[in-house]
Structures are given as structure tokens and as C-alpha cells.
Amino acid sequence: MLQGWSIVLASLAYLGVLFAIAWWADRRADSGRSVIANPTVYALSLAVYCTTWTFYGSVGRAAATGIGFLPIYLGPTLMLSLGWFVLHKMVRVAKANRITSIADFVASRYGKSPLLGGLVTIIAVVGVVPYIALQLKAVSNSFTILLHHPDIVMPTGLGAVPLLQDSALYVAVGMAAFTILFGTRHLDATERHEGMVAAIAFESVVKLAAFFAVGLFVTYGLHGGFQHIFDQAELVPRLAKLMVAGDSAANYGSWAALTFLSMLSVLLLPRQFQIAVVENVNPDHVRRAVWLFPLYLFLINIFVLPIALGGLLRFPTGVDADTFVLTLPMAEQGEALALFVFIGGLSAATGMVIVETIALSTMVCNDLVMPVLLRWKSLGLAERRDLSGLLLEIRRWAIAAILMLGYGYFRLAGEAYALVGIGLISFAAVAQFAPVLFGGLYWKGGTREGALAGLLAGFVVWAYTLLLPSFSKSGWLPAEFLSHGPFGIELLRPQQLFGLAGLDEISHCLLWSLLANVGAYLALSLRRAPDAMEARQANLFVDAPVGGGSLSSWRGSARVADLLALVERFLGVERARTALGRYARSRGASRIEELQADAHLIHFAESLLAGAIGSASAHVMVASVVEEEPLGLDEVMNILDEASQVRAYSRELETKSRELEQATQELREANERLREVDRMKDDFISTVTHELRTPLTSIRAFSEMLFEDPKIDLAERSRFLGIIVSETERLTRLINQILDLAKLESGRADWTPVAVDLSEIVRESMESVSQLYRDKGVTLECSLPASGLEVMADRDRLMQVFLNLLSNAVKFVAPGTGRVEVDVAATDDAVQVSVTDNGPGIAHEDHEVIFEKFRQGTGNNGTLTDKPQGTGLGLPISRQIIEYFGGRLWVESPPPGSAMAGARFIFTLPLPTTQKEQT
């Protein structure tokens, strides 16, 4: 059954399913119903971390070192469960700044430097090519093994196989074609590939299922469970060793190094960055990955040790432990299972290759090729109308080239290492990104030169201590290079650099490369302060403000048509128009041409372009369109200081704007009050005018009439003259009172308080009004202490108050039966005087009204038949006078049923302290 063609057919069928899933997911995404906007899908897609290394290689490593296969999975578990906030921040920052790859991330952080982007890309490609070779090796090996069923044959002498008969070549070509079809159908501004993510999540499930299947088969099918296998292994001394962790320091060191390395790799491998950061739909999905991804790792590793032991028990010699997952079912005639396992391995390989090459080709296109092409004037790219097709072509060629490089490495160096060894080389390579990336995320001091120096130093040391030795071990470089150092210099031996022996090669490489990397990074970063661009990007990345950074510091003008043409060139006409049209509508215009080419629009165009060609190139292109104002020397100096100044200014601006808000609010309130007062003043003036003009009207009218007609009879003449006189008096009184009031209210009253005898004043005022009272037949009584009550006041003014109260009282009581009582009493620190009448009283709601200017106690429906001859100013003035001397004046209504049931006016005046002492 396991003929060549059937295996191939099964493989093609599986790839077809992957393709279908991807296509379906893309369709759903286009219609807005994304299938991958799901935290579980996100977490599963992270499992692209598990490649054929996991599938085949873990068992191989377990067979050699027992649980020494674990650190590779311990690292990601620790990273996700304890350090997930780092990933969360990376995702947030990447989204806010429209990052499309790890090269873009680093380049953008250190001032949008194209050089950095290119360097990161080169390191990534060189570092990951071995890893791709590993996948090719695994697939081709497993294919070969399966093909020889029922015999168990190990593939050997790979390099010797003629090129055209090498299955690995066809695997490479096949994967290239598949990836090109998969990932380069169109350009997306965000570089997201929903279909790919869905397919990856699917294949994560497939490889877990396949591994579980063979695991169950071995553990429960071939043996009687976990305990049974371990018991059997104990019996074999060689195997018994495997189940105990090694105790040497080297072992611990190796564990630490591997764990550390895998912690970094789960984020920094280009495919991991692509899936975890770029393809992420929602930063909050990270939370589910925190437990789901470690769970997946746990599940896929449960059966590793049993399978390894089972394999060693079954095949004591002659069979590579790497192949146990395949050869064990094959040895038991489990063809279907073996095929399933093969598909699982294929799944793991294709997942890795697809994502890795897409990520790498994006970087190569955006950060390596395009910057060079754009600067190459002779190509005239700046004038080409539509570059989107060119971009896609570049990516396709990049994918093909990367896979061919992978195949090349496979033929040259793949022989010397077991699978795991190759993978670790790649891990160590991407570990070089850690200082610049994590430094860039948490430290604002990193500069472009520092990043460049760090990366270069780390890369060179890595290549020297790990990559070249791998060639040497395959025979491509002379072996003396390893054993005696270059040109015989022992101190520079690649894997015992400067005499540091005793470390395994990974720890050794890690130590030196990271030392060089971090050292160079720090040293060059601290040499100068970050410039404006770096500082700005540092703020965006380290502070990661929610809602994205502020507008780009574009100074200058651009024409909308130019921007439009630029975006169309790189995105394609249709996509450009769609995106810009949406933007225009969000700003309230129907077409993009209607908008102003302000900093906002320029920034938006830049971010659109960044998705297609990377942020560094986008910045350059937009700069070519925007006519920047020329900088004078002063401005240059200012910009250099900008970094620190801007921060200080913005803080100051915040406080200033808050103060401004407050001031505006206060101003608004003051204006309101002013308007109110103005209105009251208008009312007052209008009322005063009316009150003054009314008596004047009578005076004038009667005067004129008397003047016109001398023949008016005497009776009428005297009557008219009498009215004139009284109206004149009324007018005079009014004017006096108004002046009083004006003086009081403006504070210009300057009455000096002297000691006055209250009782004496009361008696005098009563005397003054006695005639008035007699005329109306109203009784006036008082109860006073004889003398001795002295207050500090003005004599005349106090008299004025009394007269006002007494004359009010007599006005409102009934003639004949009217009664007014005056009562004076003293407390410890004040004297209280009350004037009570038995008139109609004052309604409760009018108690305060009567103290208002020109208001008289008649209410809206005047119940009094006689309109009292008053000005309506007496009480307000009295109150002002009393308050001027520190007292209070108010009115009370005595309880109904009491003898004097009218109104009671009460005022208090403070007693001077000397008086208090006397009483």
C-alpha cells in the first residue's frame, strides 16, 4: 500500500485541504466574518513553533539525553506564562505603529533606519536557512523511510545522491510553489494573511493528533501503559540512565542556556513574530495563549519519552532515534498509522516553511530589495506608475531563493548534525535580536548606531562560533579550523574562544555572542543622546500610549494628487482608492481629492505605504513627495534639542491647558454674573426713573394748569398747590433715600459710630411721630430701660430707622383701634429692639420681599384699599443702616391668636465690649 505514488497522493491531498482552508478563511475575512478573530485559533497558531524538530527530533534527543529534550519547551512555557506582558506590549506597539515584520519593528524603533532593517533581514535569512534545511531533511528522510516499507532502512549518504534524484529537491520545489501560491496572491497593507493563520491552526491540530496517535499506539498498543514502559526501561542499564537528569554543572548550564534560548526564540523567530505579533487580531488574545499554548506543548510532549524508550527497546541498534515515530508503527505493520504520522510530519514541516518563508520574503522585499531599488536612480523606479506587481514578484522570487538556499545548506551541511543540532543554530542566531528588540521596548536610550553595532557584533560572533563550525563538521571547511583555530591561532578556536572550554557549543556561542551584542549596543548607544526621530520612536515604543502615537512630525506641504499617486503605485490602484476613500469619508469628505494634504493625511498615507514596503522605505518615499521647508541652522540646533525639550513642553502644555480651561470657566461665570447685575441695574434705573417722574408729572401738570388759567377758583387753586407741595416733598424724600441707598451700596457711607444712648433715641423718635399717631388714633407704647443702653452707631441714622419702622407701623394699622408696641431688651452681647403692630400683618412669603427696593407689602393682588404713601425704599435703607453697624433687621409674624397679631419688626445691634463688662 505504501507505494511512492500513494504517499505522494496523500501528501498532495493534505496540501489541498490546507489550501482549501486558507482560501475559505480568506473569503470569510473579505466578507468581514473573520474565522481567526478567536483567541483559541491564535493560541493554536502559535504552535507553529513545533516543527519536525518537535515531531521527529524530540524523540531523537530523548533517546540520547533522556529528559534533555525538555528545555526547548520549558522556555516558551515560561515566556508565555510569566512574561506574557512582554508579548502583549509587543503586539500593542506593533499594531499602533503598523509594524509588518521583525525587521520593520527594529528599523522603526531606531528612527526608521533602512540600514537596520536590511541588517536584521540578512541575519534572519542566514540564521533561519539551516532551520528550513532541517524541515527539508525531515520530510525527505521520512519519505524515503516510508517508501522502503516493510523494510526499515535508514537514509544515508545524502550528499551522494544525484541532484535530480534527490527527493529533498522536489520537496523544496514543491514547498516553494505551494508557499508562493499561498502567500503572494495580493498585497495587504497590514501584511496579514488570514488564510494562512487558519491553515496553521489546522495543521497544529493535525500534528498533535498524529503524535498522539503514535504515542497511544506505542504506550498502550505495544506496551501496557506508561508504568510498563518505564519498568521495562529500568531493566536496561543504558536506558535507565536516560530517565535520570544529569547532575553535572555542564548539564545545568546547558539546560539553562537552552531554556533561555527557547524563551527568546518563541518570540524572535521570524515565523513566531509573524504569527504572534503581525497576524495577531487582538492583543487580548494573548491572555488565552498564556495557558493554552503551554498546554499544547505539554500534550505534544507527553509521549516523547515513552516513544523514545519504546523505540530503544524495539531497536537497540541501527535505527535513528529521530525516526522512531515512523519506524515503530512500520515495524508493527501499522501502515495507516505510519502514513498518518508521515502526514503529521509533513504538516509540521509545511507549517514552518510557509510562515517562515512568507515572513522572510516580506522582510527581504521591504527591507532589503526595495530600499536598494528605490535608490538606484537608473532603474527609474520612482517614475513607474504601478509597483504593486513588482513587489509581489520580488516576494515570489525571494521565497524561491530562500528555499533553494535551504536546500543548498541541506546538501552541504545537513549531514553532520542530528536535527536538533541544526535547529539550535537558528535559535542562537535570532537570539541576537533580543538586546535591540527588548532594549528598544523598555529603554529609551538605544540609538541606531548602538543597534547596528550590537547586531553586527552578535551576528559575527555567532557565525564564527556556530555557523562556520557547522560547515567545518560537514567537511566544507578544513577540520583544522575547529581544532586549532584559524591560521593556527589557538586562542581564536571557534568553539573554545579565548580559552573558555568546558561549555557545550550552544552555551559557548550564546555567552560570547550576547556579550559582544549587548556590549556594543550599550557602548554605542550611550555615546550620544537619541536624536529627535529616535526619541520620538522611543516614546511610541516604550511608553506605548494607548491609541497610538501622535501625528508624524511632517513639516511641509504636499499635494493630495501626489500622495494619491504614490499610494497607488505601491498598493495598486484599486486598493489605494478603497483605503483612501474610506479615510476621506471618515473625515467628512466624499472624495479623497476634496481633503487638504495636512499632516494627518500624510501620516495616513505613510502608514499605508509602510504596510507594503516597510516603514523605513515608506518614510523615504513620502519625504520625496512632501516639500519640506528648508531648515536654517537655528532650526537644526533646535531639532537636536527637541527630544528632551518636547517632553518638558508637552508636560507644561498640559498644565497650561488645564489652567486655561479653568480660567475660561471662571470667565464664563463672571460674565453671567455681570449680565445679571447689568440687568438688575437696568431694572433699578428704570424703576427709579419711574418713581422720580411720577411726582414730577403731578407737579408739572398742576403748575402748568395754574399758570394757564388764572381764573381757577380759590378752592381748587389751594387744592392744586397743596398737591404740588406734597408731591415736591415726596420727590425730595425719594431723592434723599435714593442717594442714601447709593451711598450705602457703594460703601461710601462714612458715618462714624459713636456711643449713643438707645433709649434716648427711641424716646425722641416716638416723640416725632406722636402727632401722626394722634391724628390717626393709634396707640403707641414702649417698654424701655430708663437709660444706660449704649451702642456704637450714628445718631441720625438710627433715628431714621426708628422713624421708618414707626411710620410704617402707623401706616398699616387700622385707625382708632391700631396699636404699636416698642420693646427694648438686652442680652450679653447685643441689644434687641422690636416694633410690633396689630395691623394686617405680612404674609410669610413676603417676609423677605418687603426688604427689596421699591417693593411694598401689597403682594400681587393688593389687599389694601389705600395705597400707602411710601417710596418702597424705607425698609431696604433701614436694613442697610443696621447692617452697617453690625446688626440684623428682619420681620416676624407673631403666632396667630396673640394680642398683637400684625407684623413684628426686630433689629439687633451689638453691644460694645465695655458695656458687656458693666452688665
Which position among 515, 862, 883, 898 is part of the footprint of another protein (CB under 8 A)?
862
In this chain, which stretch among 219-227, 319-327, 399-407, 693-701 interacts with another protein, using CB under 8 A? 693-701
Among residues 677 and 712, whose Cβ is nearest to another protein? 712
Q: Within 10 Å of residue 339's Cβ, how many Cβ atoms? A: 22
Does position 718 bind another protein by CB under 8 A? no
Phi/psi of residue 857, nearest 5 degrees: -75, 55
Does position 689 bind another protein by CB under 8 A? yes
Q: What SS3 class is residue 837? A: strand
In this chain, which stretch among 135-143, 181-189, 765-773, 855-863 interacts with another protein, using CB under 8 A? 855-863
Which position among 652, 716, 745, 883 is part of the footprint of another protein (CB under 8 A)?
716
- Residue 518 identity (one-letter amino acid): V
C-alpha cell at 579: 483605503
Question: Read out DSSP for 836-880?
Answer: EE-SS---GGGTTGGGSTT--TTTTTT--SSPP---S-HHHHHHH
578 Cβ contact list (under 8 Å, min separation 6): none
Least Å from the CB of residue 722 to another protein: 10
Does position 679 bind another protein by CB under 8 A? no
Which position among 709, 781, 852, 883 is part of the footprint of another protein (CB under 8 A)?
709
856 Cβ contact list (under 8 Å, min separation 6): 850, 868, 870, 872
C-alpha cell at 707: 399758570
C-alpha cell at 163: 541532484
Least Å from the CB of residue 645 to another protein: 58
Positions in 725-744 near another protein (CB under 8 A): 727
End-to-end CA distance of the chain: 128
Least Å from the CB of residue 700 to another protein: 4
Contacts with another protein: how many residues (CB under 8 A)?
Answer: 27
Does position 678 bind another protein by CB under 8 A? no
Reported as type and span, the H/E element at residue 826 is strand 819-826
Q: Kindly report each contact of residues 161-165 with a partner whose C-beta sits within 8 Å and lies 24 or more positions away, as own/partner.
A: none
Residue pair 85/537 in contact by the 8 Å Cβ criterion: no
Least Å from the CB of residue 701 to another protein: 4
Which position among 38, 474, 694, 832 is part of the footprint of another protein (CB under 8 A)?
694
Give the contact letters, 265-294, x = binds to another protein (CB under 8 A), - = no.
Answer: ------------------------------
Does position 510 bind another protein by CB under 8 A? no
Q: What's the sign of the alpha-carbon dihedral 473, 477, 478, 480? A: negative
Cis status of the peptide bond prior to 150, with omega within 30 of 0: yes
Among residues 861 and 918, whose Cβ is nearest to another protein? 861
In this chain, which stretch among 80-88, 456-464, 746-754, 861-869 interacts with another protein, using CB under 8 A? 861-869
Distances (CA, A) of 428 to 124, 405, 504, 510: 11, 19, 13, 7
Least Å from the CB of residue 771 to another protein: 23
If 0-12 CB within 10 Å is exposed, 13-18 middle and 19+ buried, where does residue 906 land? middle
Which position among 190, 557, 698, 728 is part of the footprint of another protein (CB under 8 A)?
698
Does position 681 bind another protein by CB under 8 A? no
Among residues 639 and 706, whose Cβ is nearest to another protein? 706
Least Å from the CB of residue 731 to another protein: 11
Nearest to 367 by CA among 91, 177, 108: 108
Least Å from the CB of residue 671 to another protein: 23
Does position 708 bind another protein by CB under 8 A? yes
- Residue 543 identity (one-letter amino acid): D
Positions in 555-574 near another protein (CB under 8 A): none
Does position 858 bind another protein by CB under 8 A? yes
Phi/psi of residue 779, nearest 5 degrees: -85, 140
Least Å from the CB of residue 733 to another protein: 15
Does position 693 bind another protein by CB under 8 A? yes
Which position among 342, 702, 802, 905 is part of the footprint of another protein (CB under 8 A)?
702
Least Å from the CB of residue 686 to another protein: 6
Among residues 417 and 702, whose Cβ is nearest to another protein? 702
Which position among 375, 528, 690, 774 is part of the footprint of another protein (CB under 8 A)?
690
- Residue 315 identity (one-letter amino acid): F
Give the contact letters, 801-840, x = binds to another protein (CB under 8 A), - = no.
Answer: ----------------------------------------
Among residues 8 and 680, whose Cβ is nearest to another protein? 680
Residue 742's DSSP bridge partners are none
Question: How far is the C-alpha of 124 from the C-alpha of 495, rounded, in Å?
Answer: 22
In sequence order, which ranges of 626-713 are alpha helices (DSSP H)? 633-708
Question: How far is the C-alpha of 317 from the C-alpha of 322, rounded, in Å?
Answer: 13
In this chain, which stretch among 104-112, 215-223, 699-707, 793-801 interacts with another protein, using CB under 8 A? 699-707
Among residues 511 and 696, whose Cβ is nearest to another protein? 696
Question: How far is the C-alpha of 85 from the C-alpha of 538, rounded, in Å?
Answer: 18
Q: Within 10 Å of residue 221's Cβ, how many Cβ atoms? A: 17
Which position among 158, 477, 589, 723 is part of the footprint of another protein (CB under 8 A)?
723
Residue 835's DSSP bridge partners are 822, 905
- Residue 700 identity (one-letter amino acid): R
Does position 918 bind another protein by CB under 8 A? no
Among residues 336 and 705, whose Cβ is nearest to another protein? 705
- Residue 21 identity (one-letter amino acid): I
Does position 661 bind another protein by CB under 8 A? no
Tell me which DSSP letter residue 528 carries.
S
Positions in 136-175 near another protein (CB under 8 A): none
Which position among 31, 586, 655, 861 is part of the footprint of another protein (CB under 8 A)?
861
Does position 696 bind another protein by CB under 8 A? yes
Distances (CA, A) of 772 to 113, 451, 696, 761, 796: 103, 105, 26, 18, 20
Residue pair 581/591 in contact by the 8 Å Cβ criterion: yes
Phi/psi of residue 259, nearest 5 degrees: -60, -45
- Residue 818 identity (one-letter amino acid): G
Residue pair 382/624 in contact by the 8 Å Cβ criterion: yes
In this chain, which stretch among 36-44, 99-107, 237-245, 696-704 interacts with another protein, using CB under 8 A? 696-704
Which position among 704, 796, 829, 883 is part of the footprint of another protein (CB under 8 A)?
704
Q: What SS3 class is residue 793? A: strand
Does position 701 bind another protein by CB under 8 A? yes
Enumerate binding residues for another protein (CB under 8 A): 686, 689-702, 704-705, 708-709, 716, 720, 723, 727, 858, 861-862, 867
